[in-house]
Structure 1
Amino acid sequence: MIDQLPDSARRVALLLKERGHPHAVVMLPETGKTSAEAAAGLGCSIAQIAKSILFRRKEDDAPVLVIASGANRVDEAKVTARVGALARADARFVREKTGYAIGGVCPIGHAVTPVTLIDEDLLALESLWAAAGHPHAVFNLSPQELIELTGAPVVDVALRESVT
């Protein structure tokens, strides 16, 4: 099965296998570029999609990866407070720093190790789905497995609408 995956998804599948991860990479028939598309293809809630959003830290051009619930928008001010001022990461930066195309950025296996933060809202869920290196490839994991695979801290990164 691994041999039939696109190159970038095969790389993720081999990395997961090497790390003892029990779940296989799954290819969606339709793209999973957005959380809504991935959730529809998997038959799960949007919140269960662990989306990988990459920023560029202004100070040193380091990649900053935020793994957020698909139901949340990332509050850049909260991320900035933890890691420093941020800038947008264009497609070239994403590919160069992660080795993946936008829409397929996996939480692990990056070309350059990013500063990584995990959305605390993901911990309330039993099962998550994350991109596996390709816009059609995903893999299943628990919040605890996400923490173990990335070694990242769990923090509040969600934009909360204020009620006045």
Structure 2
Amino acid sequence: MSDIHKNVRRVIAAGEAVGVEVEPRHFPAGAKTAQDAADAIGCAVGQIVKSLIFAVDDEVVLAYVSGSNQLDESRLAAAAGGERCERVDADVVREATGFPIGGVPPFGHTRKLAVFIDPDLLGHDEVWAAAGTWNDVFPLDPRALVEASGGTVVELKRE
């Protein structure tokens, strides 16, 4: 386990704490985009969980969106009970989650965040989420994603 990145070890431990077995797969070339990840894994791009961090009325929130969809920021703002939704920078992502952009997993964050989940992810038997770095991912049942993250399933995609 010593050759596994410390962030991935944190995700494995956090998964155990919420009853999810994390079996990470490492891709040295990385998976910076949903399409890159799908190509590397050999799955549909819709099975990739994009972890998107935004500020809604200055409150940091997390959205898990299917790799085949684009986030509708006004829908995220409404789901979070706010009006303004704006991107946050890499420092805010790391401070709020403890992980870098591209590596934010569904659990094990530095602090509790409101989580919103694209219902299109539930149309798959298996989805793939980041495991702490942009080189590491793991598969899980989308229902486990909802339960383990404490997320609210709500329509988020841009039409």
What TM-score results when the alignment is normalised by the length of structure 2? Answer: 0.93
Who is 2:94 aligned against? Answer: 95
Following the alignment from structure 2 to structure 1, what is the Cα–Cα distance between the partners of residues 32 and 119?
Answer: 22
Contact 1:29 1:41 in 2 (8 A): no
Following the alignment from structure 1 to structure 2, what is the Cα–Cα distance between the partners of residues 64 and 76?
Answer: 12
RMSD of aligned alpha carbons: 1.2
Structure 1 runs (4+) deviating above 3 angstroms are none
Contact 2:52 2:63 in 1 (8 A): yes
2:73 is the counterpart of 1:73: no
Could you list the runs of 5+ residues in structure 1 that have no partner in the other structure?
none
Following the alignment from structure 2 to structure 1, what is the Cα–Cα distance between the partners of residues 123 and 37?
Answer: 19
Following the alignment from structure 1 to structure 2, what is the Cα–Cα distance between the partners of residues 49 and 130?
Answer: 6
| 1:87-143 deviation digits (Å, cap 9, x = unpaired) | 211011111111111111111111121111000111111110000110111111011
SS at structure 2 position matched to 1:14: helix
Contact 1:65 1:114 in 2 (8 A): yes
SS at structure 2 position matched to 1:4: coil
Identity of aligned residues (%): 39
Who is 1:156 aligned against? Answer: 155
Contact 2:79 2:154 in 1 (8 A): no
Contact 1:128 1:143 in 2 (8 A): yes
Shift of 1:29: 2.8
Contact 1:72 1:158 in 2 (8 A): yes
Following the alignment from structure 2 to structure 1, what is the Cα–Cα distance between the partners of residues 92 and 44?
Answer: 30
Following the alignment from structure 1 to structure 2, what is the Cα–Cα distance between the partners of residues 4 and 16?
Answer: 19
Shift of 1:20: 2.8
| 1:67-95 deviation digits (Å, cap 9, x = unpaired) | 00000000011111121122211011111
Could you list the runs of 5+ residues in structure 2 that have no partner in the other structure?
none
State the one-letter code of the partner of 1:28. F
What TM-score results when the alignment is normalised by the length of structure 1? Answer: 0.91
The 5 Å alignment of 1:30-41 reads 30-41=29-40
Contact 1:46 1:70 in 2 (8 A): yes
